[in-house]
Amino acid sequence: MQISKFMTPEIIFGNQSLRQVGESLRRLGATRVFIVSDPGVENAGWIERIIHYLGQQNLDYFLWTQITANPKDHEVHAGVAEYRARECNAILGVGGGSAVDAAKAIALLGTNDGSIVQYEGVDKIEHPLPPMVMVPTTAGSGSEVSQFSIIVDSERKVKMAIISKSLIPDIAIIDPQTLMTKDKQLTANTGMDVLTHAIESYISLAATPLTEVHSLQAMRLIANHLRPSVASCYNAEAKQAMAMASLQAGIAFSNAILGAVHAMSHQLGGFLDAPHGEVNAILLPYVLEYNYIAAPEKYRQIAECLGESTAGLSSHDASRLTLKAVKDLARDLDIPESLSAIGLQPEQIPLLSEHAILDVCMTTNPRDMSANDVAALFQQAL
C-alpha cells in the first residue's frame, strides 16, 4: 500500500450546531473575527444569528460580503486589505463554496506575502494561517473540510486550484438547517457537485481505504436524498442526509484529490463564470465513460451505491448502469444536458483543453489524458 496521509478539521455536525460558532472561535484564541460571506446568506438571516453567538463570547467582528459566485483574485486582495485594516486575528467563512474558498484565500494572504496567483498549485504556503472556522450553508463544495481553495485568475480567466494542508480549517461547523433557505436550483447544482466529489475521489489514483469508505457512503446518501432535498426546502431528513453526504465527499476528495471532471470544469467556470456544480453534472457522464477502462470493478460499486442492480452483469454492462444513474439524476433535477446550453462555443475548446491538462486535479485522474482527449470530451458534451 502507498504511504498516505488522512487529515480533517475538528467537525461539529448537527441541527443547532451553529450555536457553537462563538465558543469555537474563542478557544482558538480569536478576539476580532473577520466574517466572509455573501449577501444571499446575510439576507437569509444566518449572519444575524452568528453575530449573536459571537456576542455571547464577547468577540468583536467585521463583516465582509464583497464576493461573487466564483471568487476572483482581486476580490480576495480587497478582502485581505480589509482584514489587515480591521486588525482581525481570525477568519470565519459562512456560505457556499465561494465564501469558504474566499475566506481561506484571505487567511492565506493574511500571513503570507504577495498575490494569490503566486500560490496556485501544491504546497506553496510558507507561513501558518490565522485560526479558521468554516460554516457551510450549501451541500456543497466540501471546502469547509478540504485542503483546496479555488480562486479565479481574472487575467487568464482560469480557476486556480490552491492546495495545501495549511488550508484545512481548524473547525468546520455543519448545521443542516442552513440548507433550508436555498432555492431548488442551487440545491440541485451543489448536490451534483457532491456526487462528482464522491465519484472522482473514489476512482482517483490517490484513493485509499480511508477515503473510499467516505466516497461510497456519500454516493448512497445522494442516491436516496438529493431528489427529495431539491423537491422540498423543508425536508429536514433530506437536508441532514445531504449535509452528511457533502461532508463525507469533502473528506474523501481532500485526501484523495479529484480528476478530469474538475480539471475541465475549473476552466469553464473561470472562462464562462458558470455554476460549478452545473458544469460538473454536464461533464461527469462523458468523463466517466472515458475513464471506465481504468477501474471497471469500481464502476460496479458506484452503480450499486446509486441504486442500480448489477447482479449477473459484466463489468462493462454494470458501467453502463453507472452512466444511466448519473444521467437520470441530472435529468430529474433539470440540469442542462449540454455545454452549449451554458454558453460554450466550439472555437473556445482548444484553449480550455490546454489549460485543463495543467490543472492539478488531472494528476489523479485514473486514465491518462492528452489535450486532444480533453478536447474530444468537451466536443462530445457540447
The three three-digit cell numbers of residue 348, written as one number: 473556445
C-alpha cell, 227: 431528489
Q: So what's the pLDDT on residue 272?
A: 87
pLDDT tens by residue, 292-341: 999 999 999 999 999 999 999 988 898 889 999 999 999 999 999 999 99
Q: Does residue 1 surpass a pLDDT of 60?
A: no
Given a cut of 80, whether residue 111 has pLDDT beyond it is yes
Q: Which fold has domain 10-178?
A: Rossmann fold (3.40.50)
Domain 184-381: assigned CATH number: 1.20.1090.10
Indicate the residue type of 274. A
Residue 319's pLDDT is what? 86
Residue range 163-174: average pLDDT? 97
Q: Answer for the pair 261, 283: CB distance below 8 angstroms, yes or no.
A: yes
Order of all β-strands in the sheet with 171-174: 10-13, 171-174, 132-136, 90-95, 32-36, 60-64
Q: Which three cell numbers stand for residue 129?
A: 494561517
pLDDT at 2 > cutoff 80: no
pLDDT higher than 80, residue 259: yes
As given in the structure block, the three cell numbers for residue 31 are: 478576539
What average pLDDT score do residues 114-130 get?
96
Burial track 81-106 (b if 16+ CB lie within 10 A, e otherwise): ebbeeeebbbbbbbbbbbbbbbbbbb
The residues, any chain, with a CB within 8 Å of residue 159's CB and separated by 6 or more, are 70, 150, 151, 152, 153, 266, 267, 269, 270
- Residue 248 makes CB contacts below 8 A (sequence gap 6+) with 198, 214, 215, 217, 218, 221
Give me the residue spans of the domains in the chain.
10-178, 184-381
Q: Which helix (H) or strand (E) element contains residue 217?
A: helix 209-231
- Res 3: pLDDT: 72
Contacting residues for 19 by C-beta, under 8 A, at least 6 apart: 53
Tell me the C-alpha to C-alpha distance, in Å, between residue 310 and each of 175, 199, 273: 35, 17, 38
Round to whole Å and give the CA distance between 51 and 312: 57
Strands 171-174 vs 10-13: parallel, antiparallel or unpaired: parallel
- Report pLDDT digits (tens) over 349-382: 999 999 999 999 999 999 999 999 999 999 999 9
Over pLDDT 70: what percentage of the chain? 99
**What pLDDT score does 218 carry?**
98
Cβ count near 329 (within 10 Å): 22
What integer pLDDT is reported at residue 152 of this predicted model?
Answer: 94
From residue 330, alpha-carbon distances to 29, 199, 209, 354 in Å are 44, 15, 28, 27
